[in-house]
């Protein structure tokens, strides 16, 4: 019985933190200006990261001011345009798992745009051959300070290197 407790202790307090640290990614020093794709691996997982530039300009509303409306049609662009304080904007992404095993999907936001961004779904398991549609919201309040908010939204897909490791995904 003591031996089993010792093994559980080692697994939980030694192995689990190592696994978590290997999945950690620091904030980028420079944000991408176009959609980019990156991969890396550790002993347990293969990672695929798609990085999207993101920005919004918040302007003060003044009487008689004309707001120029522009459309961004690039599917890789998460530019939210020009907004007034107290308004919001929404973008969509579809994510598909073409693998034969489940994967974990996680969104990370970096930069000054970070406090304004939220997702309808984050940090979830995507089953084989499944597709999900993600809403990305940029929300401002009446107290949001006018200015240019920039950053990056990363979509990290974590894939198991061995199916026997399903329990740690």
pLDDT of residue 65: 64
pLDDT of residue 86: 93
pLDDT of residue 69: 58
What is the rounded distance in angstroms from the CA atom of residue 78 to the CA atom of residue 154?
11
| pLDDT confidence bin for 25, thresholds 50/70/90 | low
What is the rounded distance in angstroms from the CA atom of residue 84 to the CA atom of residue 41?
42
127 or 78, which is more confident: 127
Residue reference for tokens 């559980």: 8
Taking Cα atoms as reference points, which of 135, 132, 105 lies closest to residue 117? 135
What is the rounded distance in angstroms from the CA atom of residue 157 to the CA atom of residue 132?
13
pLDDT of residue 51: 95
pLDDT of residue 2: 75
Q: What is the per-residue DSSP string for 77-144?
A: -EEEEEE-TT-EEEEEEEEE--SSS-EEEEEEEEETTGGGEEESS-SEEE-TT-EEEEEEEEE--TTP
């Amino acid at each position: 019985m003591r031996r089993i407790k010792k093994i559980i202790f080692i697994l939980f307090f030694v192995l689990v933190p190592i696994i978590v640290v290997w999945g950690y990614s620091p904030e980028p020093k420079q944000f991408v200006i176009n959609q980019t794709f990156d991969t890396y691996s550790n002993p347990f997982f293969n990672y695929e990261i798609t990085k999207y530039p993101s920005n919004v300009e918040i302007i003060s509303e003044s009487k008689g001011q004309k707001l120029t409306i522009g459309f961004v049609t690039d599917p890789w662009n998460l530019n939210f345009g020009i907004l007034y304080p107290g308004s919001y904007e929404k973008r969509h992404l579809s994510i598909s798992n073409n693998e034969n095993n489940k994967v974990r999907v996680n969104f990370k936001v970096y930069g000054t745009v970070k406090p304004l961004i939220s997702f309808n779904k984050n940090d979830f398991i995507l089953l084989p051959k499944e597709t999900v549609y993600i809403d990305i919201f940029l929300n401002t309040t009446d107290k949001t300070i006018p200015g240019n908010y920039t950053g990056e939204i990363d979509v990290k897909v974590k894939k198991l290197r061995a199916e026997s490791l399903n329990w740690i995904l």
